[in-house]
Amino acid sequence: MAWYLMDETQRPYRHTKIVATIGPATESLEKLEALIAAGVDIIRLNMAHGSVEWVSEIIARIRQASANVDRHVAVMMDVKGPEVRTGPVDTPMQLAKGDRLELHTGDFEALNDGVHRVSVNYPDLPGDVDVGAMVLIDSGLLRTRVLEKNSARVVLEVLTPGVMGSRRHINLPGTQVNLPALTDKDKNDLCAGIAAGLDFVALSFVRQAEDIRTLRSYLDEQGCQARIIAKIEDQAGVRNMDEIIHETDGVMVARGDLGIEIEYHKLPLVQTQLVRACQSEGKPVIIATHLLESMIQSPIPTRAEISDVSNAIREQADAIMLSGETTTGAYPLESVEVLKNIVTSIEPSVERPINDRIQLHEPKSKMLRSSVVLAKELGQSGVVVFTRSGFLAYVLGAMRAHEVPIYAFTDVQSTFHQLMLPWGVEPFLIEFSDDPEETIQDALNVLLKKNWCKPGSWLVVITNALADDKIIDTLQLRQIGVEDA
């Protein structure tokens, strides 16, 4: 059993972070306080169901809830992004196998000829799809194939029977669509979120690195330093994962649409591929969608869900995310508790070497690897790092040193929040002194007083020091609560 679970006087330490999406079931001040106190690290706002007015109100409420329970969280805005959807229908369509369904990009005449017709919000659809291509409607429940097309319509053959209502989402597996990275709604939502102080932006349907650059340019124009999370949820995103991961600040494996866009039996392989690619680049990765889907209605998870979450932990994903479980589910707090319990059981069982896939080019980065190796050799130790940008702590988290907490101290509020995401990093917000030694002493005292470390523990400290009027990087050994108390 891991050392950080053995001492009841010491705070339990968790490497894997928890993201919870809020909605009607959890957006009250009382429920937010309970979620944060329960251990949620990042709160996600799903703007597919949110308005500009809601953003400023809910972020302020999240910050108030954090202050009330004296535990801070980060805020992630998940922008809706561009979507291909069918238009409204007067009554739900009963589609039988073999029926014809026409998707029209403009006005059309309703005829009583047995053919189903509906509008579509994507004018370039006829130019993008090929005859014979698959078109999946309503989260893949309705499978169709393109029979013919012209400049204004696409004729589909229904392959699986079902009922189609208004504004159903369309997936186009293998089709490169010509959609913008950001919509006008996204920009309006972002402006509200930036004004309210968001920490992360999750960009939907990232297909190429240029999508990330587009968002970053927009954030720069607004003077926003939020970190970008690329949601990989279609074949183009998987195909271009390396260039996307290099450009982004983190990745979300969005298994909802991704599981529709690719063959379902290949989804676990793609998940592993994405996790490993992120670890090679030292970028955080979040596993999302359907982790505890049954707990929307059930107080306990299925055995398969427990195994799925356990697999994400064994793969060493930085974070695991709840969606419907905490937006509209009947058991949001229980869902968080289940994730914590699984993490508590599984993390100590994972025996893996320190991440050697990450490429470290700078001497200081290589010193960071040495620090976690030393802390692991010491046992019952950790690494203390001081950072304003968050870079050092993100690299340390990417090392994946089991049983080695990364205690990251910063004096920048936004960096403090953004350090809630990387694996194994526990952030602290303190004032930095002009005297590095005074800053070190303040940090060690915080760890001791808040029960993160026991008196007598040895810690590896990474900091700057002044030598002959020059600032140098140092790696030090400090024993806490002895001469430092």
* Together in a domain, 204 and 280: yes
Does pLDDT of 484 surpass 60? no
| Cα(410)–Cα(458) distance, integer angstroms | 21
**Which residue, 150, 171, 192, sits at the end of a domain?**
171
Does pLDDT of 365 surpass 90? no
What is the pTM for the complete model shown? 0.93
* Together in a domain, 53 and 120: no
Locus of tokens 């959609």: 179
In a domain, 204, yes or no: yes
Residue type, 64: Q
| Cα(128)–Cα(149) distance, integer angstroms | 11
- Total domain count for the chain? 3
* Together in a domain, 228 and 318: yes
Does pLDDT of 305 surpass 70? yes
Locus of tokens 């809910």: 58
> In this structure, what DSSP letter does residue 169 have?
B
Least confident of 169-173, 395-399, 469-473: 469-473
Token pair for residue 355? 């991440």
Does pLDDT of 363 surpass 50? yes
- pLDDT for 352 equals 85
* Together in a domain, 372 and 437: yes
Q: How confident is the model at residue 1 (pLDDT cuts 50, 70, 90)?
A: very low
Does pLDDT of 11 surpass 90? no
Does pLDDT of 158 surpass 70? yes
- pLDDT for 47 equals 95
| Cα(19)–Cα(75) distance, integer angstroms | 9
Instruction: Identify which of 198, 202, 221, 197 has the alpha carbon closest to the alpha carbon of residue 212.
Output: 202
Instruction: Identify which of 369, 368, 361 has the alpha carbon closest to the alpha carbon of residue 386.
Output: 368
* Together in a domain, 132 and 201: no
Three-state SS at 361: coil
Mean pLDDT of all residues in 249-271 = 95
| Cα(214)–Cα(62) distance, integer angstroms | 28
Contact 147, 155 (CB under 8 A): yes
Active site residues: 44, 85, 231, 289
> In this structure, what DSSP letter does residue 299 have?
S
pLDDT tens-digit profile of 171-201? 999 888 889 999 999 999 999 999 999 999 9
- pLDDT for 10 equals 56
* CATH number of the domain bearing residue 67: 3.20.20.60
- pLDDT for 139 equals 86
Pairing between strand 319-322 and 383-386? unpaired
* Together in a domain, 377 and 427: yes
Does pLDDT of 470 surpass 90? no
Q: How confident is the model at residue 483 (pLDDT cuts 50, 70, 90)?
A: low
CA distances from 55 to 37, 78, 131, 306, 432 (A): 22, 11, 42, 33, 32
Does pLDDT of 240 surpass 70? yes
Q: Can you give the residue range of the structural domain that contains 113?
A: 93-171
Cα-to-chain-centroid distance, residue 88: 32
Locus of tokens 């183009």: 236
- pLDDT for 485 equals 40
Least confident of 340-354, 360-374, 392-406: 360-374
In a domain, 484, yes or no: no
* Together in a domain, 304 and 275: yes
Token pair for residue 438? 């005074």
In a domain, 354, yes or no: no
Residue 179 CB-density burial (10 A; 0-12 exposed, 13-18 middle, 19+ buried): middle
Instruction: Identify which of 253, 266, 336 has the alpha carbon closest to the alpha carbon of residue 25.
Output: 336
Mean pLDDT of all residues in 412-441 = 95
* Together in a domain, 393 and 459: yes
* Together in a domain, 253 and 371: no
Does pLDDT of 80 surpass 70? yes
- pLDDT for 351 equals 84
Mean pLDDT of all residues in 204-225 = 97
What is the average pLDDT value for the chain, to the nearest integer?
A: 93
* CATH number of the domain bearing residue 163: 2.40.33.10
- pLDDT for 189 equals 97
Three-state SS at 136: strand
Contact 145, 100 (CB under 8 A): no
* Together in a domain, 398 and 447: yes
Mean pLDDT of all residues in 110-119 = 90
* Together in a domain, 156 and 268: no
Pairing between strand 383-386 and 458-467? parallel
